[in-house]
Amino acid sequence: MRSARSRRDRPLRGPLVASCAMAEVGRVLYGREEVRRRVEELGRTITGDYVGRKPVLVTVLKGGAVFLADLMRAVDLPLEVSFMAISRYGDAEESLGRVQILLDVELDLAGRDVLLVEDIVDTGLTSRYLLSVLRSRGAASIELCTLLDKTARRIVPIRPRYAGFECPDNFVVGYGLDFRERYRNLPDILQVDDLARLRADPDALTSHVPPAA
């Protein structure tokens, strides 16, 4: 029987880093050092839970790639990674959880312990669908790990086994998360407080883009 989740598995709640005003468009929600520490904590927990096994970590491109890259290096186990890509969808399709798989997992998952690694889980509809797809491949176990858990938007009763941070009901960018393909490379996670202004001026957060070496 699976043991109860430890406190380390539960998402941290509320920003622990002082916010930085950026022309009132957005602010730092979780800073890079806080993210690094939390990812390392998740890696240690996963290492303990999967000791003696060789898990397969699967993420969805593009957003989950940054989190996966750091998480897999924090897991002290033999493991494999694989990627999926799904189609973009509008609000109507999102409400029904319909997605099209553009890139599928290339590994044989039969009998494997699979961990779906997400950048953010909000309504839970897409995650539920992807978990069902992976489960149908004959996986021995399937669990969900997310960096950000936006429970305020949850529609289906899905609870990630591993969650980094509780995410407020705001648009967020950075650390893999984007706005019109921008800001994935930000080392911090930013909360957008004025989405209308960001839509009008997509460069409004460029002051947080790391300078070129």
Tokens representing residue 33 in the block: 């050092």
Tokens representing residue 121 in the block: 């889980």
Strand 113-121: give its sheet, edge to edge: 101-103, 80-86, 56-61, 113-121, 141-149, 162-166
Helix %, strand %, coil % for the chain, to 5?
30, 25, 45
Q: Quick check: pTM over 0.75?
A: yes
Q: Residue count of the chain, please give it.
A: 213
| Chain CA centroid to CA 209, Å | 20
Instruction: State the catalytic residue, choosing from 9, 122, 149, 188.
Output: 122
pLDDT bucket at 24, cuts 50 / 70 / 90 = confident
Tokens representing residue 30 in the block: 């979780």
134-160, pLDDT tens digit by residue? 999 999 999 999 999 999 999 999 999
For position 179, what pLDDT does the model report? 95
**If we measure between CA atoms, which residue out of 166, 150, 83 comes closest to residue 117?**
83
**If we measure between CA atoms, which residue out of 126, 116, 121, 128 comes closest to residue 166?**
121
104-144, pLDDT tens digit by residue? 999 999 999 999 999 999 999 999 999 999 999 999 999 99
pLDDT bucket at 87, cuts 50 / 70 / 90 = confident
Q: With H, G, I as helix, E, B as strand and everything else as coil, classify residue 182.
A: strand
Alpha-carbon separation of residue 157 from 124, 161, 170 (angstroms): 8, 13, 20
Interatomic CA distance for residues 41 and 35, integer angstroms = 10
For position 57, what pLDDT does the model report? 98
- For the question of residue 91 being annotated catalytic, the response is no
Continuous segment of H or E residues that includes residue 121: strand 113-121
**If we measure between CA atoms, which residue out of 185, 187, 186, 180 comes closest to residue 201?**
180
